[in-house]
Structure formats: structure tokens, C-alpha cells
Amino acid sequence: MAATSLGPDHFIHPNQMSLKSQMSPKQGDHRMGMDRNTSTRGMEGQHRSPDQEVENKHEEKVQYPDRGKDETKAEMGSKTWADLAGEMKIFLWNPEERTCLGRTAKSWGLILLFYFVFYTCLAGMFAFCMYVMLLTLSPYTPRFRDRVSPPGVMIRPYLNGFTIAFNVSQPNTWQPYVDSMHHFLAAYDDKVQEEKNIECVSGQYFIQGGDDSEEKKACQFKRSLLHNCSGIEDPTFGYSRGQPCILLKMNRIIGYRPGAGVPVSVDCKVQKGNESHLRSVDFYPGNGTFDLMYYPYYGKFTHVNYTSPLVAMHFTDVERNHLVPIQCSLHGKGIINDLNSDRFLGRIIFTLRIGK
């Protein structure tokens, strides 16, 4: 059978014509659709972008999330514990390459030398900075003193906080307070003061010149100045009679001159409650003042024998069997005693309870 010509570029073989004539219309349509889909997929495969390939890989990972883990487990499962131990042994020491932890002796020496030099330089820089900073500081006088005045105050005895409670008829309740007072006043013994310190002119500042490193003299403060609260005439400081003595001292501040030429005084009152619970208080020495001759203070390095002046408060008539909150305050020029955020600045609050 001769070939049939459809045009200048298209020819149909006789066998093809016979096959097509034998196919049903539905089979022909199905075949043509398959050919069309095949050609379409081929074109899509030729023109697929890299982004589409990445998306397809991501879809495969989502559909098969454990495929990578299974492969890793398969590789690990091919090694026994003996193999792993052998690899670790080789890593720790490889006799063929003569390496320890993957480094030769020369490599270890170089890296250790580097870190030694590096940290030595750091330490040297730190020491140099500290040396330069210390050159700017004085061991005798603080550089900044603008936040330490006016002074705070403290009391003695101080055992269990700021509550002094005891029963007159039970010596074991007040004996610890007496022992604390004697221990504190040991440095104020008359003989000790006469040996170490000098007598000064009362009522004026004891200003000493000279170099900052020169040792300064200190004025005598004898415990006999405290009279009934000295522990000399009454070794129990009045605790055995229900009339306790309490000592008050100002904190030391280098160069501070309290009162601006006028002695600072002390007074006490009931801080909160019935004022009749505190009926009588005696002050020593004088009328409860800090003499100016004990100021200024020059620091512990040069004012070696300095002893802080004291004011003794003798509570001779306090309501028994009651908690009496007492506030003792400093009064003088430049003194602040009403700052609510600091209960020790220019004042102190404590509680007395005297039982029968």
C-alpha cells in the first residue's frame, strides 16, 4: 500500500493507517490525551525552577521525616562499641602520627605558649591599672566625703537588737548587759587614758597640722566623767535597781567638726505612746553634750589612740512592766535627725522593758 501524503511535511505509513483504523474513537481519544500529558510533563521538567526543586525536597522531608535519622542510625549501627572505643583511643593518642587529641607536641607547645603570653599581658595590664588608680588615693583621707555627714549614732550595750529587757529580781537577765558595758568601757579606764592620751582645752576644736601621715594626738576621755554610769561606784550600771545606763556615741567621720563651734547636745523622749512612761533621765558628762575638743577625727592610721566621746543616759524613772519605745536625738547646727528613711541619722530608737 502506498504512503498517503498529507502535505509537504507530513506522511502516514500504511501500517499506521491500518492501526488507527482499527482503534475505536474512545481509544483514540485516550491515547491522544496520554501523549498530550506526557509532552506536558516533559516540558514542565525542562522548565522547572530551582525554587520548585527546593520545595519538592521540603515536601519529601515532610512526608518522610525519619528518613535522615534512619540513615544516620544505619551508619552508626554498622560500628560496634569496640570500633568506637578504638577510635577514641586513637584520638587520645595516635602512635603513628604521634598526636594527642589531634595535636602534635609542637602544636601543643605553641598554643600553650600563646595563652601563657596572652594571659601574662592581661595580668600585667590589670596590675598597672590598679597601680595607677592607687596612686591617686590617699590611705589617710578619703577622696569623697560628701555623703557621710552628718553622723549617725549608736548605743551600748547592744546585744539582742535594739530592745533592752530584763527583770530586776533576776540577775541572769541583766548581767549580760553589765558585762557588755564593762568590756566596752575598758578602753576608757582612767589609767589607760592618762598613759596614751593628753589633756586638751575644753570647748574648742583640737586642730592638728602637719603631714597627713604624721601621727596625731588624742584627747583624754576618762570613764569617770560618766559619774553614775561609769561602773566605778555602781558596778551594775543601775541595772540591779531598775535604773539602767545606756551609752550613746556618734559615728566617726574624718575631718568632721560637729556643731559649727557649738557643742552637740542629746535629749530623749518617748517615741510613740504615753509620754508619762519616761519620767526622768540624767545625762553625763555635763548636760549631755559632746565636747568640741574631741574633734576633728583624723583617721585610724594617724589617730591611733583616739577614743570616741560618749554621752551616758541614766534612766532613773521608767514605767515598769511596759514596752517603752524611746528616741534619743542629737541637736546642733548641721545635724539632721528627722529623716524617715534612716533611723540612725542623728537619732536612734530603742525599746526599754524593765520588769520587777
The pLDDT tens digits for 314-335 are: 999 999 999 999 999 999 998 9
**CA separation for the pair 225, 221 (Å, rounded):** 7
pLDDT of the residue at 60: 54
pLDDT at 84: 85
Identify the weakest region by mean pLDDT among 105-109, 174-178, 261-265, 339-343.
339-343
Across the range 262-274, mean pLDDT stands at 92
SS3 of residue 347 by DSSP: strand
Residue 123 has pLDDT above 70, yes or no: yes
Residue 8's pLDDT is 41
Q: 17: pLDDT confidence band, cut at 50, 70 and 90?
A: very low
The Cα–Cα gap between 316 and 237 comes to 11
pLDDT at residue number 80 = 86
**What percent of the chain has a predicted confidence (pLDDT) above 90?**
50
Residue 53 has pLDDT above 80, yes or no: no
pLDDT for residue 68: 55
Helices (H), the chain: 14-22, 25-46, 50-63, 67-77, 81-92, 105-135, 171-185, 190-196
pLDDT at 133 over 50: yes
> For residues 244 and 352, what is the distance between their CA atoms, to the nearest angstrom?
9
Per the prediction, the chain carries an average pLDDT of 81
pLDDT band at 74 (very low <50, low <70, confident <90, very high): low
Cα distance between the two ends of the chain: 146
Note the pTM of the prediction, 2 decimals. 0.65
Q: For residue 105, count other CB atoms closer than 10 A to its CB.
A: 10
The stretch 240-264 carries a mean pLDDT of 92
Whole-number Å distance between alpha carbons of 198 and 195: 8
pLDDT higher at 46 or 293:
293
